[in-house]
Amino acid sequence: MGKGEIVECERVDLGFLSDAPIKVTVNQVVACTGQRLWDILADGESWTRWVKPIVGVEWTSPKPLGIGTTRTVTMVGGLVGYEEYLAWDAPRHFAFRFNQTTKGGPEAFVEEYRIYDLGNGSCKVSWTMAMRIGGPSARMPGVVAAGMKKANASFLKKLASYAASNPVLADD
């Protein structure tokens, strides 16, 4: 799956969300319950519909999913992330890190999602992405963060549209 040499990432913990040199958080209100949004986020196929760079998601751990669960995410350009879940508190909170990636990916990487049920059939999702990268881009963390923030806000708007469309999930 994917192209290129696989390299180890630093196996950071949730503390990296505070310490990362590049960190962005975006929020979005979604017209569905928190449980419904959780179910969408637990469906691997759904990620290919709202995160434009993701072309495939494969759970590599058996169910039930939880802390320690692994999955492989393939992105455009052949970038592959081999993820491990660090937090899993359905239907409110999950986080994962990259344990490995293809060469050229981040040196350390954590994503965290928090879901707040707002009542009346809506919820808010807060998405934080934290990373350390190498190469020339490492010298421009503000530029990288600004680009990530804009892209991630756009992806969350797509997630909100996807959730509102009331899709049938592959795992249902």
> How sure is the predictor about 4, in pLDDT bands with cuts at 50, 70 and 90?
confident
**Lowest-confidence range among 1-5, 30-34, 46-50?**
1-5
Contact present, 159 and 125 (Cβ < 8 Å):
yes
Q: What is the per-residue DSSP string for the chain? A: --SS-EEEPP---TTHHHH-SEEEEEEEEESS-HHHHHHHHT-HHHHHHHSTTEEEEEE-SPSSP-TT-EEEEEEGGG-EEEEEEEEEETTTEEEEEEEEEETTS-SEEEEEEEEEEEETTEEEEEEEEEEE--SGGGG-HHHHHHHHHHHHHHHHHHHHHHHHT-PPPTT-
Give the dihedral of Cα atoms 164, 165, 170, 171; nearest 10 deg. 30
> How sure is the predictor about 169, in pLDDT bands with cuts at 50, 70 and 90?
low
- Homologous superfamily (CATH) for 6-164: START domain (3.30.530.20)
What is the pLDDT at residue 74? Answer: 97
In 3D space, the residue among 98, 87, 99, 76 whose CA is nearest the CA of residue 38 turns out to be 87
pLDDT, tens digit (0-9, with 9 covering 90-100), for 48-78: 999 999 999 999 999 999 999 999 999 999 9
What is the pLDDT at residue 2? Answer: 45
> How sure is the predictor about 89, in pLDDT bands with cuts at 50, 70 and 90?
very high
Residue 152 has pLDDT above 60, yes or no: yes
What is the pLDDT at residue 84? Answer: 98
Cα four-point dihedral sign 150, 40, 116, 111: negative
Full-model pTM: 0.93
Instruction: For the chain, give every domain's residue range.
Output: 6-164
For residues 10-14, average pLDDT: 98
Q: Helix 141-164 and helix 34-41: axis angle, to 10°?
A: 110
What is the pLDDT at residue 1? Answer: 43
CA–CA dist 166, 172 (Å, integer) = 13
Per the prediction, the chain carries an average pLDDT of 93
